[in-house]
Amino acid sequence: MSKIFLTNKHNGVVIIMVREKEFSVFSSRDAIRVTGATQRQLDYWDVLGLVPASISGNPGKGRARRYSFRDLIKLRVVVTLRKAGLSLQRIRKALKIVEKWDKKSGVWAKRNFVVMGTDIFVTTPDRQALKKVLDDSGQLAFSVVFVGEVLRDAKERIRLDVAKKQKATA
């Protein structure tokens, strides 16, 4: 079991060292601001296991959810795919498949999702080709989720949120 040491709490963002790796912990309120999800969506997606808060303790009602930065990226992707009209069932299947593909390579955040109707395609790690994730047809629509842009957007929202908190406490 790895030891977890609380090292700093700065403007509502907790920095934790785990096996000499540093990451930030985000509350539900932070996740809402950064991802555009609602509290109801966070609750429902956590209960479904779609994007559970990975740093939280035991699941259950009344517990404080704590999200990792990777969780925020996944939440932002889910929000964007929902806005493109995809069902949660399709999103869940697609995320499971992509996570299975990327388990060894660890390049999940470098993927881009392309949505045409209810078909989901994901870029290959080298971004040279698209791979079909699910095999069903549906109405024609086109939407692209660039995870790299989602990543940059989330970082910028966090930076602005921290700056706003610093200004408020000054």
Say which amino acid occupies 78: V
pLDDT tens profile 83-127: 888 889 988 888 887 777 766 555 565 667 777 777 777 766 665
**136 exposure class (CB count in 10 Å sphere: 0-12, 13-18, 19+):** exposed
Domain of residue 165 covers 4-169
Q: What CATH number did the domain enclosing 144 receive? A: 1.10.1660.10
pLDDT tens profile 115-167: 777 777 776 666 555 666 665 443 333 455 667 777 788 888 888 888 888 88
Of 122, 90, 88, the C-alpha closest to 108 is 122
> What total number of domains does the chain contain?
1
Q: What is the pTM of this model?
A: 0.62
The DSSP bridge partners found for residue 144 are 114
Q: Identify the band that residue 38 occupies on the pLDDT scale cut at 50, 70 and 90.
A: very high
